Amino acid sequence: MDSNELQKIEKTAKNEVSGAKNLDELNDLRIKFLGRERGALTLVLRNLKNLPQEERKIIGKNANHLKILTEELFEKRGEELKKTEFDSILKKEWLDVTRPGAKIERGSLHPITLVRCEVEKIFSSMGFGVVEGPEVETEWYNFDALNIPKDHPARDLWDTFWLKPAQTGADGTRKVAENFLRNSASSLRSSALLLRTHTSPVQIRYMQSHNPPIRIIAPGRVYRYEATDAGHDIQFHHVEGLMIDKHISIANFKAVILELFKKLFGKEVKIRLRPSYFPFVEPGFEVDLSCIVCNAKGCPVCKKTGWSEIMGAGMVHPKVFEAVGYIPRNQQGFAFGIGLDRITMMKYKIPDIRLFHSGDLRFLKQF
Ligand code: DAH
């Protein structure tokens, strides 16, 4: 052991400590130079006792001095490394508290739902209740009770999805639903099942269980077995309406419907009644609405006529009153069926009815 060796230790310690890249490396170096068992300096100090006294004094002093120096080196480098590590954590975990939050994706209501809600609100404000009926109906409710007997040519107006009778032992829920539907028709009535072609059967169900005065709407899905195009789909939506009392007239109907469209489209509109045929009303008419796209000036949507056909309506037929057990003479009133898809298309200028069930998010996100 001589001073040279100490100088060597000092030099390598200085070099290596200042070159330590992180606290782990620094710790390894601390063990290498100052470790209690085998640290280079520790060994020097431990071996002092083997040196002759003179040498021991000098080397001992120098070694102790070097120990203090080395400890300072470690201290200093440790501080530096801690700071750089802290800085890099700061950089990595940097957070801009002024940055706007990430937007949570939110769904939106379907345009049909939007218009349906609006229609319900408007009718509610005029004292109408909102009721519903089943989408799987019996032939009697969908046709016979509405004065559309079997073999009557008028049936051709409604292209129907007929449902196969359930097989024996079929699943319980289906049985319960069928029994519910069939029990509500008497044994003389046809209980053949179908997907309702319009919401008019809800009129029948409601009148069977309520007496006049009646003021209801019945919105819902309806089905037709027909080819699709921009204006037709196999499933769409109707809003049925029914107002019955002692003296309800077509004048009442016109007032109610004008109020609906004025509120729905937010501007003055005109309506026009054209005579038409529906077996469950007499007289029956079709209602045209002045085209809201071009303000009745004439455009492709209204086929340059200024008018758009929007609903069927009429005064409830005595045969319908009979079917539900009313005495026909005792009351009168109007019924109507609005194409919900059609007015939604008009309101939002949607060119193709098939978009409604396309599931296309680019379409749906616009509402
Ligand atoms: N149910 C008819 C249809 O499917 C629409 C309709 C017309 C409903 C006249 C009515 C009405 O209540 O009185 O086209």
Six-digit token pair at 63?
Answer: 């070694």
* C-alpha separations of 180 from 110, 184, 270 in Å: 31, 6, 43
**Binding annotation:** 282
Taking the CB of residue 342, how many other CB atoms lie within 10 A of it? 20
Domain coordinates in residue numbering, the chain? 3-93, 111-364
Which DSSP string corresponds to 203-266?
HHHHHHH-PSSEEEEEEEEEE--S--BTTB-SEEEEEEEEEEESS--HHHHHHHHHHHHHHHHT
Segment 191-207 mean pLDDT: 96
Tell me: the pLDDT tens digits for 202-249?
Answer: 999 999 999 999 999 999 999 999 999 888 899 999 999 999 999 999
pLDDT over 90 at 150, yes or no: no
Higher pLDDT: 278 or 166? It is 278
Segment 116-142 mean pLDDT: 97
Query: For position 6, what pLDDT does the model report?
Result: 87
Q: How confident is the model at residue 197 (pLDDT cuts 50, 70, 90)?
A: very high
Ligand 1 center from residue 315 Cα (angstroms): 11
Instruction: Specify the DSSP class assigned to residue 175.
Output: H
pLDDT over 90 at 56, yes or no: no
Asked which of 76-90, 182-196, 200-214 is least confident by mean pLDDT, the reply is 182-196
Which one-letter amino acid corresponds to residue 301? V
Atom of ligand 1 nearest to the CA of 334: 13
Ligand 1 center from residue 303 Cα (angstroms): 23
% residues pLDDT > 90 (the chain): 66
pLDDT over 90 at 329, yes or no: yes
Q: For a substitution probing ligand 1, which of 224, 248, 278, 288 has the most ligand atoms within 8 Å of its CB?
A: 278
pLDDT over 60 at 185, yes or no: no
pLDDT over 90 at 132, yes or no: yes
Query: For position 187, what pLDDT does the model report?
Result: 57
Residue 70: closest CA among 20, 24, 23, 33:
33
Segment 121-129 mean pLDDT: 98
Six-digit token pair at 241?
Answer: 């309406």
Ligand 1 center from residue 339 Cα (angstroms): 9
Query: For position 169, what pLDDT does the model report?
Result: 52
% residues pLDDT > 70 (the chain): 93
pLDDT over 90 at 201, yes or no: yes
Q: For the domain made up of 111-364, give the CATH fold.
A: BirA Bifunctional Protein; domain 2 (3.30.930)
Query: For position 216, what pLDDT does the model report?
Result: 98
Segment 319-343 mean pLDDT: 96
**For residue 338, what are the β-bridge partners?**
239, 311
Q: Is any ligand 1 atom within 6 A of the Cβ of residue 198?
A: yes
Sequence-separated (6 or more) residues with CB below 8 Å from residue 131? 202, 206, 216, 217, 218
Query: For position 340, what pLDDT does the model report?
Result: 96
Segment 171-184 mean pLDDT: 61
Residue 149: closest CA among 15, 322, 308:
322
Q: Is any ligand 1 atom within 6 A of the Cβ of residue 216?
A: no
Q: For a substitution probing ligand 1, which of 128, 131, 200 has the most ligand atoms within 8 Å of its CB?
A: 200
Q: For a substitution probing ligand 1, which of 232, 336, 343 has the most ligand atoms within 8 Å of its CB?
A: 336
Is 219:340 a contact under the CB 8 Å cutoff? yes
Taking the CB of residue 283, how many other CB atoms lie within 10 A of it? 14
